[in-house]
Structure 1
Amino acid sequence: MSVQSERVPEGVDVRLPSAARVYDWLLGGSHNFDADRAVGEKVVAVLPSGRRVAASNRAFLRRAVRYMVGQGITQFLDLGSGIPTVGNVHEIAQDMDPGCKVVYVDYDKVAVAHSRLILDGNPNAAVVEADLCRPEDVLNSAATQGMLDFDRPIGLLMVAVFHFIPDNLRPAEIVARYRETLPSGSLVALSHLTADHAPEAMAAVTEAMKNSRDPMYFRPYAEVTALFDGLDLVEPGVVSAPLWHAEPGLRDVEPDDVYAGVGRKA
């Protein structure tokens, strides 16, 4: 069933699939269009574990945010935040501490529109429409400057987003620019899809996404780990996402196609 027209922001071409909406579909959300679902079906056809991988990323986000709040972090900057679905950062953080503040950042107009709708009436959360590859635009935005105190530690979230950034945009330099701005004691959570374990299937995923607005660029373990340069890795380091602070009582956790970790700025 298509999303109703009143949920389509002006100027959005629903015929062009976007990663944010494909991800929403994989998570079982409703903020997606026919073009997004068509791409999602292609992804699942070539990678049957696609929905599980998406859920694994979301679960890592939840555990990382809880860990950060437990470490005293009460303000968050979520880059490439995507479509608001169950388990948003502000819901997780504010459930533990109602005073937590969150700034969401995305360049997808649909993601931003739905974020603004869900955040209406929440004084401790805001959304910035910006390209995370332009750190100055994100960091100098009125919402970021008004919501976050850069004299206190910040939780920076870069979950399931840098595999959409091509090498020519120098992902490590983008991460470094944000890292340099963070106060001492800040925590950075990052997850990234890889083709290390299933190269043929992930090559097919790349093919399925190549004609969307957001083609994908999977990276090996060494390149993902390098994105944490300049940070002190929190144990157990960069690992398969389900293995990072696995849920208590969870047994026989299988590694998947996502590397994840959290680093601390000294």
Structure 2
Amino acid sequence: MTGQNADTNAVEIDTSKPHPARMYDWYLGGKDNYPVDEEMGRQMLALEPRVPVMARVNRAFMHRATRWLAHHGVRQFLDIGTGIPTEPNLHQVAQEIAPDARVVYCDNDPIVLAHAAALLRSTPEGVTEYLQADVREPGAIIEGARRILDFDRPVALSLIALLHFVSDEDGAHDLVARLVAELPSGSYLVMSHATADFTPEESAAATEKLRAAGITLALRSRADFTRFFDGLELVDPGVAVVHQWHPELGEPVPGQDDGVIPGYGAVARKP
């Protein structure tokens, strides 16, 4: 299925300042980034040399959480903050277990739109779709997702390494609550989030450096991260350091045990 908003003819990419999705791509060893992204990425590495490991750990958490959900009967996924396609993507992980899985990707970055075709290679039995929208527009996201997903059946809402780019002033917790409110009973919220709990000085320096480049970094504590799941039933083991959430469902990321990964991950069910 082709993306209703995946028209790449008029994509305009701002290469004058770094962008989190392109920096993430650079950390992962991708080629869909620009010198300005690499420059900022190297500045982040000077503050925290394990950033590439952290990026890979987040990606691995998404794989494990998707496998867990597919094995527990979830067949619909809404992934917001998709990022630049890196295989295997969420739909590939889900459809390997459940070929009929339906996946809607959503991002606001023009470079992701430019690569949307890679996100739309569904199995014949399943569906993938791409929406160009911002997490700060939950109404538009739900409206678009309803065209593809059946909101009378459970949906897994995936917010991987996204909300730490949304400030409290922008209402991060309210945005998640509004999205979850639209999901039917039996749906799931999947999140990972960076934290300053373990590296306060390095995190403060990174936050200031990114702010100077126009990038918000809202590093939240374990308690603030856990608040995103208010009213939901956390799946065992609850909120965990991200690589310690069901490690048996995937392969370890080289270097993940060389010190604490400064991020949390969790999956929770809507009653």
Partner-residue secondary structure (3-state), 1:247: helix
Q: Which moved more, 1:234-243 or 1:204-213?
A: 204-213
2:260 to 231, 241, 255: 255
Partner-residue secondary structure (3-state), 1:36: helix
> Is 1:264–2:269 an aligned residue pair?
yes
Note closer, same or farther for the CA distance 1:211–1:125 as it changes in structure 2 (3 Å cut): farther
* Distance in 2 (alpha carbons) for counterparts of 1:23 and 1:66: 22
Q: For each residue in 1:159-195, what CA deviation from the matched residue of structure 2 results, as whole angstroms up to 9, or x when unmatched?
A: 1000000111111111111111111111111111000
Name the residue aligned to 2:223: 222
* Distance in 1 (alpha carbons) for counterparts of 2:25 and 2:54: 13
Letter in 2 for 1:125: T
> Is 1:245–2:246 an aligned residue pair?
yes
* Distance in 1 (alpha carbons) for counterparts of 2:46 and 2:65: 30
The answer to whether the 8 Å contact 2:85/2:119 transfers is: no
For 1:152-191, list aligned pairs within 5 A.
Answer: 152-191=153-192
* Distance in 1 (alpha carbons) for counterparts of 2:11 and 2:17: 14
The answer to whether the 8 Å contact 1:15/1:34 transfers is: no
Letter in 1 for 2:139: E
Note closer, same or farther for the CA distance 1:72–1:117 as it changes in structure 2 (3 Å cut): same
The answer to whether the 8 Å contact 2:135/2:141 transfers is: yes
* Distance in 2 (alpha carbons) for counterparts of 1:10 and 1:225: 37
Partner-residue secondary structure (3-state), 1:156: strand
* Distance in 1 (alpha carbons) for counterparts of 2:246 and 2:81: 23
Letter in 2 for 1:205: A
Name the residue aligned to 2:127: 124
Partner-residue secondary structure (3-state), 2:212: coil
Partner-residue secondary structure (3-state), 1:32: coil
* Distance in 1 (alpha carbons) for counterparts of 2:211 and 2:9: 24
Note closer, same or farther for the CA distance 1:212–1:94 as it changes in structure 2 (3 Å cut): farther
The answer to whether the 8 Å contact 2:78/2:155 transfers is: yes
Partner-residue secondary structure (3-state), 2:77: strand
TM-score by length of 2: 0.89
Q: For each residue in 1:221-247, what CA deviation from the matched residue of structure 2 results, as whole angstroms up to 9, or x when unmatched?
A: 100001110100001100100111113
> Is 1:54–2:55 an aligned residue pair?
yes
Where does structure 1 lack aligned partners over 5 or more consecutive residues?
1-6
Note closer, same or farther for the CA distance 1:214–1:8 as it changes in structure 2 (3 Å cut): farther
Shift of 1:213: 4.5
Where does structure 2 lack aligned partners over 5 or more consecutive residues?
1-7
* Distance in 1 (alpha carbons) for counterparts of 2:48 and 2:260: 15
* Distance in 1 (alpha carbons) for counterparts of 2:214 and 2:30: 20
- Percent identity, please: 38
Name the residue aligned to 2:3: none
Note closer, same or farther for the CA distance 1:149–1:48 as it changes in structure 2 (3 Å cut): same
* Distance in 1 (alpha carbons) for counterparts of 2:63 and 2:111: 23
* Distance in 1 (alpha carbons) for counterparts of 2:246 and 2:112: 29
TM-score by length of 1: 0.91
Name the residue aligned to 2:36: 35
* Distance in 1 (alpha carbons) for counterparts of 2:212 and 2:10: 22
For 1:202-217, list aligned pairs within 5 A.
Answer: 202-217=203-218
Name the residue aligned to 2:5: none
* Distance in 2 (alpha carbons) for counterparts of 1:80 and 1:147: 18
Letter in 2 for 1:264: R
The answer to whether the 8 Å contact 1:19/1:213 transfers is: no
The answer to whether the 8 Å contact 1:206/1:216 transfers is: yes
The answer to whether the 8 Å contact 1:242/1:255 transfers is: no
Letter in 1 for 2:153: R
Letter in 2 for 1:88: N
Name the residue aligned to 2:101: 100
Residue correspondences, number: 257
